[in-house]
Amino acid sequence: MNHNIFGFHPGTTPIHQLTGTTKLIIFLSLTIFGSLSFDLRYLLLLSVVAIGALFVAKIKWTDVRVLVWLVIVFAILNLILIYVFAPQYGTHLFGSKTVLLGSGAYALTFEQLYYEIIVFTKYLFALPLALIFLMTTNPSEFSAGLNKIGISYRVAYAVALALRYIPDIQVEYQTISKVQQARGYDMSKNTSLWHRLKGAVGIMMPLMFTSLEQIDSVSRAMDLRRFGKRKRRTWYYAQKFKTLDWWAIALTSLLIGIELVLLLTNGSRFWYPFK
């Protein structure tokens, strides 16, 4: 039943061919620089690049559907909460107040709307980037990459193993969930959320026990093959940078360069042309 499982899927697209280190560097730098910027033009540019890359990487909608919906729900919740707790944050940021609707503290202003659109575009580029990274990076290459940028190989490997077991745990969760449904826990959409939550807790227990056992045996298997004996280790998939990697890094540098130029010309992280 290895279908529609979220996690690394092998492939042959240019993005799959980039080394783990390249992908890690691009993912981290674009996410960090993107989240620093409040320039709508720049965020839209990043979104276009990221969404374009999603198509280049040929990521299937069915594989990421659940996660995308989750993030959308979370994003909307986030936008609503910003409005609830700081309805005039936009006016404060941009130093003007253009009321579109209503009055008083919760008056909807153009500035607030603009600010929330900026927040939304941050999701718009960050989510595709994360999806591409998770779906196209072989966890082993990823840990080799982490190790290369200076992180201890023990930590790097632990992260890779965690990534590796995500699909296994999903399959196990589905099995337990189906067995519990057969026993009588109605987990379908026609029961209350509370009921479904109770059912989910029942599934977590055996899942936790089997996962802990698995962690135990994996760590024993690793001990038996001398993991952690030396300060450093080599990697079977130590990949050499290819031209493609240099191009990808160059493109990323260009994107970062654009941001720096924008920062200088705007004089701040914000860009607000409507004053």
Partner 1 sequence: MENETSRAILKLDNVTFKYEAQKEPTLKNINLEVQAGEFIVIAGASGSGKSTLGRLISGLIPEAFPGTLTGELYFDGQRINDESIFKRSQKIGTVLQDVNAQFVGLSVAEDIAFALENDEVGETDMHAAVAAWASRLDLGDKLQLAPQQLSGGQKQRTAMAGVLIDESPVLLLDEPLASLDEASGQEMLGLLERLRTEQGITIILIEHRLADVLQYKIDRVVLLDEGEIVQDAPPVEILQEARLPQYGLAEPLYVQLLRAANIELRELSQLTQPQTVLGPQLQQQIEEYLAQLPNHETTQITEPLLTVTDLSFSYDQNQPLFDHLNFSLRKSEIVTLVGKNGSGKSTLINILTGFIENKNVGGTLTLAETDLRTLSIKERAERMGYVIQDPNLMLTQPTVFDEVASGLRLRNVSDSEIAERVVPLLELAGLYSMRNWPTDSLSYGQKKRLSIITILVLNPDILILDEPTAGQDAENANRLMDFVRDLQQSYGLTILLVTHDLGLMSYIADRTVVLVDGQIMADTDPIRLLQQPDVLTHAHLAPTSLDVFLTSHHMVANQQVYRELHKREVAHES
Whether the Cβ atoms of residue 95 and residue 275 lie closer than 8 Å to each other:
yes
Smallest distance, partner 1 to C-beta of residue 26, A: 21
Smallest distance, partner 1 to C-beta of residue 31, A: 24
Nearer Cβ to partner 1, position 82 or 169?
Answer: 169
Nearer Cβ to partner 1, position 192 or 234?
Answer: 234
CA-closest candidate to residue 17, choices 233, 237, 166, 254: 237
Q: What does the alpha-carbon distance between residue 22 and residue 138 come to, in Å, rounded to a whole number?
A: 12
Enumerate residues 6+ apart whose C-beta is below 8 A from 132: 15, 23, 27, 50, 53, 54, 57, 59
Q: What are the phi and psi torsion angles at 186 (to 5°)? A: -85, 110
Smallest distance, partner 1 to C-beta of residue 72, A: 23
Smallest distance, partner 1 to C-beta of residue 167, A: 8
Nearer Cβ to partner 1, position 81 or 205?
Answer: 205
Nearer Cβ to partner 1, position 217 or 268?
Answer: 217
Residues at the contact surface with partner 1, assessed by CB under 8 A: 1-3, 10, 138-140, 161, 164, 172, 175-176, 178-186, 188, 202-203, 205-206, 209-210, 214, 217-218, 220-230, 232-238
Sign of torsion, CA 219 223 225 230?
A: positive
